[in-house]
Amino acid sequence: MSYQVLARKWRPKSFETLVGQDHVVRALTNALEQNRLHHAYLFTGTRGVGKTTLARILAKSLNCDTGITAKPCGVCVACMGIDSDRFVDYIEINAASTRGIDDVRSLLEQATYAPTQGRFKVFMLDEVHQLTKEAFNALLKTLEEPPAHVKFILGTTDPQKVPVTVLSRCLQFNLRQMAGTTIISHLQNILGQENIPYEATALHLIARAASGSMRDALSLTDQAIAYGSQSVNEAEVRTMLGAIDQSYLFELLNALLANDGASLIAQAKVMEERSLSFEVALNDLAQLLHQVAMAQTVPDSVANDLPERDALLNLAQKIQPETLQLYYQIALLGRRDIGLAPDEFAGFTMSLLRMLAFTPNASGAQNDSSSQKSPTRQASASLASALKPQTSIPSAQMSAPEVVQKNLAQQIAPAKYTTDEAMSEQTRSSPADLSLSAENNTARTNSNSQFNGNWRGLLEELKLGLVRTLAQHCELISYDENSILLSVPEAQKHLLVPNYQEKLASAISQYFDKKIKLQFSIGGTGNTPAKQISQEKAHAQANAETAIEDDSFVQSLINDFGAQIIPNSIKPV
């Protein structure tokens, strides 16, 4: 007997053996058991998820010799005939090739005749969205009111191309893509019954490459069995798929986090020597970063049998979430633009160097001897150089670089060290005096920073970024030395996300140099800083419009020349 591929040999023959589509199985099973049968069914979903398989099982359920049942016997003439594609009352039509109006008319002529062997004549139209407009129109009336002995089953991978007039006449079921765990479990069951040895990591790779299609997974497994001489091994599956060894990707990320550019490029060269696809590498790197992000947010979502579980959890602890998101975005853009690069190696390494350039220097003071300095350290060095003790030299006698350096130092000097009035005096002081003055000012700020109930004034002192929106929509209710009670209007309660609350509390605690607990409620009078600012702007706008309208010169222009004031053109200054 000739060899039968796994996708055909292990095609499910009953609802019990169908995997991954429990929601559809449940609906069809209940309908069959209660004899609530529709005349037309539409199965939608991507390739290889079970549309044709479901159609055949449903046809057996309708024509089984035991009667209409959700559990066809599988041994009667109807069941065996449908399984072997030789049951005359089950007609499968590929609408991709049989798509014209004449083909549909021929089908409708067959529908008028009673079934020969079965209880119902079942028509399965696969890829029905490829029928022509005229063919759909010819099908509409029969599809809505077919003869009692006819059932239509339509299948499509693109339901958006099916006319709504057809959709409204069918009972629609959306078949989901198979989850990776479902595919792996099914492959393990099949390979176990086929007595073929396998490695769990190899099945993970096949499931990932199948992209939710069980048929693709079985076809790839067939190929892997042939490639590996009756075994499914990780190394051979990686070679067959052209997949990237995950160890390369982990080493790349570790080199990025260590700011080790030499190791990064060396690893890329090793990948080039092994003739690995850099476009696939960027795709796999993006997938790995997604897995790390999931491990950071929901550690329990990482499967216990995943070979890279420990490495993923380790990376999730080492890498900052914002850095992870940056790497992910760069990987996606690099994969998109790799075709524009001089070659794949250049495109891949430029993406890695871009990640390296934007990686925060987590080691901080450890790499002071390094030639790479952060902008903050460069600014501090420029400021220290500008404030070196030296004889007073008039600007006219300074060299151009010295003048530029002095101006740069004045521009980047941190505002928190001094007030505007004392800036000129401090730039003339020695470094020791400047350091002592800065410490005294900081201590004085911390000791005198006691909240006086001026919530709006406090917000003007804080650097809040995106959290300012929440802070400005908060109304102060009460406060004491260690806590502040705030109220948010009902219309703005969506701003009360935990992340914003924590950042606002952290900023206030840092400002007062002690732990301040923030408590939030919903309601209040609505007298928030945002409302106050809005009222002030409205008042200023009204005053500006009144001033323009009462201006004598403007009035003379209106009276003498018929001038008009353009609405919304007046802005307060």
Average model confidence (pLDDT) for the chain?
81
Q: What is the DSSP letter of 454?
A: -
- Average pLDDT of 9-16? 91
pLDDT at 425: 42
pLDDT at 361: 61
Q: Which two tokens mark 249? A: 């990707």
pLDDT at 432: 40
pLDDT at 543: 87
Q: How confident is the model at residue 416 (pLDDT cuts 50, 70, 90)?
A: very low
Name which of 162-171, 253-262, 559-568 the model is least confident about: 559-568
- Average pLDDT of 156-164? 91
The number of beta carbons lying within 10 Å of the beta carbon of residue 320 is 13
The closest of 241, 259, 252 to 286, measured between CA atoms, is 252
pLDDT at 424: 41
- Average pLDDT of 157-179? 91
Domains and CATH numbers, the chain: 6-174 (3.40.50.300), 180-241 (1.10.8.60), 248-358 (1.20.272.10), 455-527 (3.30.300.150)
The number of beta carbons lying within 10 Å of the beta carbon of residue 46 is 16
| Residue range 142-153, pLDDT digits in tens | 888 889 999 999
What secondary structure, in 3-state letters, does 348-380 show?
HHHHHHHHHHHCCCCCHHHHCCCCCCCHHHHHH
Q: How confident is the model at residue 305 (pLDDT cuts 50, 70, 90)?
A: low
- 549 vs 198, more confident: 198
Residue 154 has pLDDT above 80, yes or no: yes
Helices (H) and strands (E) in the chain, counts: 26, 8
CB 79 within 8 A of CB 90: no
Residue 242 has pLDDT above 90, yes or no: no
- 183 vs 235, more confident: 183
Q: How confident is the model at residue 433 (pLDDT cuts 50, 70, 90)?
A: very low
| Residue range 536-566, pLDDT digits in tens | 888 888 888 888 888 888 888 888 877 888 8
List own/partner pairs for 390-398 with CB under 8 A and 24 or more apart: 392/428
- 239 vs 333, more confident: 333
- 101 vs 392, more confident: 101
DSSP string, 475-533: EEEEE-SSEEEEEE-GGGGGG--HHHHHHHHHHHHHHHTS--EEEEEE-S----HHHHH
CA gap 237, 217 in Å, rounded:
12
| Backbone phi, psi, residue 233, to 5° | -115, 150
Residue 381 has pLDDT above 60, yes or no: no
Helix axes 278-297, 309-318, angle to 10 degrees: 70
